[in-house]
Structure 1
Amino acid sequence: MSGRVVVIGVGNPLRGDDGIGPAAVEALHGRVPDGTVLTVSDGEPARMLDLWRGADTVVLVEALRTSPACPGRLHTLTPSEAARHAPGAASTHAFGLGECLALAQALDRLPPQLVVHAVEVAGVALGTGLSPAVRSALPELTERVAATVSRAHEHHR
């Protein structure tokens, strides 16, 4: 095992609350151990698989659509929990996280450890800026992701 830890902020900052993943990655700079890979993705499955290639631990930070929604509510999901969300419900992207994880499993490309930190969103219409509810969840989300990353580094020592 390489001990490589990758954090991927999934989303598009030009689509309202869908920018929570990239915003969290930005907030993590200087708050996670050296050697942690911090990156962003639009959620396209092939690119996601490339980003986590060779990682022992992957932490995904994602906007989550639910019905009824409680914008700003935080979730920590295992891969199987994330995959159980109905297509289009687990993600704000064309391909949902469930489809991405199914592809990774079919190709035997799931990382040994994968954690999804997600935030229920208010809207993903075109426009910049997070809604107040989602923006207020960013500090706690950042803390949760940083704690997951720290535990992963401790585990790989």
Structure 2
Amino acid sequence: MKTAIMGFGNPVRSDDGVGCYVIDQLRKSLGEQPEVNLFDMGTSAFEVLFQLRGHDRILIVDAVINTGEAPGTLYKLPAHEVEAAIQDDPMVFLHSLKWDQALSYARKILLREYPDDVQVYLIAVDDTKLKVNLSDAVRAAGDRVVALLRDSLLVNS
């Protein structure tokens, strides 16, 4: 099963960078895997849409703020529960496009090649100040996601 794993976030905004942290840790622990593509998305999304073609599964990792839960709380859900409606506005600014909107565009662009299996791992955060370190709770949650993703890859290989 060919899998795309996409980590989103801003690594200079403290805990918001947890998605990028997860991708970095997966690169270190997995090495090169022919059936797994790791995408450190940072804060961009649109340019990767065409690279999703041919994947059977997409796994997304990102921070979520204002959940009311403790930092480090982990949520896993199917993407259709949080996918934003597509915007047919030709003036959509590519740098302001978020992953949930990008998935809507991917569905439209890839048509039948859009995979049925798209899962989202969200980690609750409350610190998005201008600094480069993750809090201990969010780093621990990122490490849990790395372990879950590695286990998922082993089960589906």
Per the TM superposition, whether the score is higher than 0.5 is: yes
Q: For 1:43 and 1:55, locate their aligned partners in 2 and report how far apart those are by CA, in whole Å.
A: 22
Does the CA-based 8 Å contact 2:8-2:20 persist in structure 1? yes
Q: Structure 2: which amino acid aligns with 1:50? A: F
TM-score, reference length from structure 2: 0.77
The reply to whether residue 104 of structure 1 matches residue 106 of structure 2 is yes
* Other-structure match for 1:124: 128
TM-score, reference length from structure 1: 0.77
* Other-structure match for 2:50: 50
Does the CA-based 8 Å contact 1:32-1:150 persist in structure 2? no
Tell me how far 1:33 sits from its aligned partner.
Answer: 7.9
Q: For 1:45 and 1:38, locate their aligned partners in 2 and report how far apart those are by CA, in whole Å.
A: 13
**Structure 1 residues 6, 71: CA separation in 2 closer, same or farther (over 3 Å shift)?**
same
Q: Structure 1: which amino acid aligns with 2:138? A: V
Tell me the C-alpha RMSD between the 2 structures.
2.5
What percentage of aligned pairs have identical amino acids?
24
The 5 A counterparts of 1:1-157 are: 3-28=1-26, 29-31=28-30, 34-35=33-34, 36-83=36-83, 94-107=96-109, 108=111, 110-153=114-157
Q: For 2:32 and 2:41, locate their aligned partners in 1 and report how far apart those are by CA, in whole Å.
A: 21
Q: For 1:23 and 1:124, locate their aligned partners in 2 and report how far apart those are by CA, in whole Å.
A: 14
Where structure 2 has 5 or more consecutive residues not aligned to the other structure, the ranges are 85-94
Q: For 2:20 and 2:44, locate their aligned partners in 1 and report how far apart those are by CA, in whole Å.
A: 15
Q: Structure 1: which amino acid aligns with 2:33? A: D
Q: Structure 1: which amino acid aligns with 2:83? A: A
SS of residue in 2 equivalent to 1:13: coil
SS of residue in 2 equivalent to 1:30: helix
**Higher Rg of the two aligned structures:** 2
Where structure 1 has 5 or more consecutive residues not aligned to the other structure, the ranges are 85-92
